[in-house]
Structure 1
């Protein structure tokens, strides 16, 4: 017997131990603090106690951690088709930093100051009380006004000085599956966490979202911050990290903020990537490509969540649906390498999606 995603034995065990149902919710939510491949566990982390987020909030009034999609996407079979060759299938969302705060509307909704410090991009109103409705109504620092989504990550410090990225940061929307034609837009209100603040260096390096690690100058594939970076104006600290792109079609969020999403799997006998049967809906794969203006001696560089390998990030979708669909269809499904306007410099004959003001005509 299951009760909203929790097995009856778990509730009976909690009762036997004198633990409240709310605490069971908290224990269930704790896997948000662990690597994607690790079992759930409750752990504390430098001002960020994970796993206590299952409380009533604007999008989750009963506080059980499950937010149903409406409508749900059913009857989808993961695509195993081989599409026409297309080296690129992506577009960019350029979003500048808006503010920093010890808030996390996914892990700690309605609890300002409960998190470690985060650097927010995109929606300018993002805070502990943010909901799908509030974000949809809020302004944005993204180049496209239709992208009211919230993007955030742990803040970076050098000593006691907070270092914020300058200018629009590159957030790619790509195809994670081989059949790029099967990708569809994010549902409004979808949210998830990528990575974990408590992961080890090895778990960070082996994470399916790991691309090139921390890099600066000629130093690449670092799981922690390099000891030093060239002291030149053109050198910044960089990181690329990819999100899962396969959705279960049922939930906009789950108690661990991850299990409704999955990374791709390899089609047997091939090198092709496809979504697993448990998460059959192919969505855009978000890739953070962040740059911090810091170099020289890096010995005092840290994240608010800890060492460099504690990097993780959050995404809360609040795109205007019509614009997101137009960009996904033209750039990802269309097999193009698009900029923030949906224009492929190498295929100018295909045109752009957005006008000069980055709005859908």
Structure 2
């Protein structure tokens, strides 16, 4: 398949200016907490589609020529966005419950094979995710997800309270939903698909109006915040939370692109209807991932920040390494089947439907 030309244009920003713009200038991180590396400035060295995002130009086993395009093999062709309106179901989802594995200044999507070049990330799911991760290495790794078949890598910028990293405790909720009205048209992710959701350089206004924005930062009775609330109720049952949705329409051609976004798109409203459909240039409906993260911090929030900067710099990454048969069973049973499933693929309000996985979260 012919590849598109590389995107290398943009405006370079010095590391000092970048750290200042992210609210990190003059911050002394404690020992053992990785500081943003020189690559943090490089992350904003190329402008693409109105967003500032790193362009990968380093070769890897999956991208030998280093142009940032990883073709799907095989590509998905002959698909048009579905305009069908199946029977209404309020839910069509399942959960991937995955715990934190580690933190590191790595990003195998934005900075493949460049350890230490990223701002610090909190990793969930695959226990081996690092700068050198590939589809094959993730497939050989372990996982903290309840379903052993989910060896995907999930990561986001580490949250700090002053110099102290604050890590989510226990299995976090990662929803797999439908983003389109025709939930029966949703198909599993292709193996090796990867993308970035959001942008660390986005403005507060862009974050608030991002198509993936759900409720912003929230705690107690405070909702829809683009920044961390000044205070949160100082109670053991209160944590700061965020929910953010990923694009769910795929071009069918590439597993990754230089900006790590343009092979994916959000659904659009079909003219004259209230139906959500995939756009014509991204016709393949995939599951819509929604991060629902809870961080155990409350009280005075004045020192809370992300490794990428202020609250509105929140973003996250996904690298698919599901076992194909397991993901296919969950998508078919729960999303296409119009159920509200847990990580086993079981809907307690519809016990007659059974579960996609057994008691050990494996295929029966």
TM-score in terms of structure 1 length:
0.90
In the alignment, does 2:92 pair up with 1:93? no
Q: Distance in 2 between matches of 1:105 and 1:129?
A: 6
Q: 1:192 aligns with which of 184, 190, 195?
A: 195
What is the DSSP-based 3-state SS (H/G/I as helix, E as strand, rest coil) of the residue aligned with 1:212? strand
Cross-structure match for 1:5: 4
In the alignment, does 2:236 pair up with 1:233? yes
Cross-structure match for 2:124: 121
Q: Distance in 2 between matches of 1:312 and 1:326?
A: 29
Q: 1:275 aligns with which of 274, 278, 282?
A: 278
Cross-structure match for 1:317: 320
5+ long unaligned stretches in structure 1: 7-23, 28-39
1:77–1:340 Cα change, 3 Å: same
In the alignment, does 2:57 pair up with 1:54? yes
Q: Distance in 1 between matches of 2:340 and 2:302?
A: 38
Once the two structures are superposed, residues 244-267 of structure 1 have per-residue CA deviations (whole angstroms, 9 ceiling, x without a partner) of: 000000000000000000000001
Q: 2:338 aligns with which of 310, 332, 335?
A: 335
5+ long unaligned stretches in structure 2: 20-35, 44-53
Q: Distance in 2 between matches of 1:231 and 1:84?
A: 45
In the alignment, does 2:271 pair up with 1:285? no
> 8 Å contact 2:56–2:112 — kept in the other structure?
yes
Q: Distance in 2 between matches of 1:55 and 1:101?
A: 19
In the alignment, does 2:361 pair up with 1:358? yes
Cross-structure match for 2:349: 346
Once the two structures are superposed, residues 120-144 of structure 1 have per-residue CA deviations (whole angstroms, 9 ceiling, x without a partner) of: 0000000000000000110000000
Q: Distance in 1 between matches of 2:254 and 2:11?
A: 22
Q: 2:133 aligns with which of 112, 130, 133?
A: 130
User: How large is the Cα RMSD of the aligned pairs?
Assistant: 1.3
Cross-structure match for 2:71: 68
Q: Distance in 2 between matches of 1:149 and 1:298?
A: 32
Q: Distance in 2 between matches of 1:196 and 1:52?
A: 13
Q: 1:220 aligns with which of 219, 223, 247?
A: 223
Using the TM superposition, give the Cα deviation of residue 53 of structure 1 relative to its aligned residue in structure 2, in angstroms: 2.1
In the alignment, does 2:109 pair up with 1:111? no
Using the TM superposition, give the Cα deviation of residue 41 of structure 1 relative to its aligned residue in structure 2, in angstroms: 5.6
Once the two structures are superposed, residues 107-157 of structure 1 have per-residue CA deviations (whole angstroms, 9 ceiling, x without a partner) of: 000000000000000000000000000001100000000000000000000
Would you say how many aligned residue pairs link Structure 1 and Structure 2?
331
Q: Distance in 1 between matches of 2:12 and 2:134?
A: 25
Using the TM superposition, give the Cα deviation of residue 58 of structure 1 relative to its aligned residue in structure 2, in angstroms: 1.9
Q: 2:251 aligns with which of 248, 262, 273?
A: 248
Q: Distance in 2 between matches of 1:244 and 1:64?
A: 23
Cross-structure match for 2:51: none
Cross-structure match for 1:299: 302
Cross-structure match for 1:36: none
Q: Distance in 2 between matches of 1:141 and 1:58?
A: 26
Using the TM superposition, give the Cα deviation of residue 59 of structure 1 relative to its aligned residue in structure 2, in angstroms: 1.2
1:26–1:101 Cα change, 3 Å: farther
TM-score in terms of structure 2 length:
0.89
> 8 Å contact 1:26–1:53 — kept in the other structure?
no
What is the DSSP-based 3-state SS (H/G/I as helix, E as strand, rest coil) of the residue aligned with 1:315? strand
Using the TM superposition, give the Cα deviation of residue 52 of structure 1 relative to its aligned residue in structure 2, in angstroms: 4.7
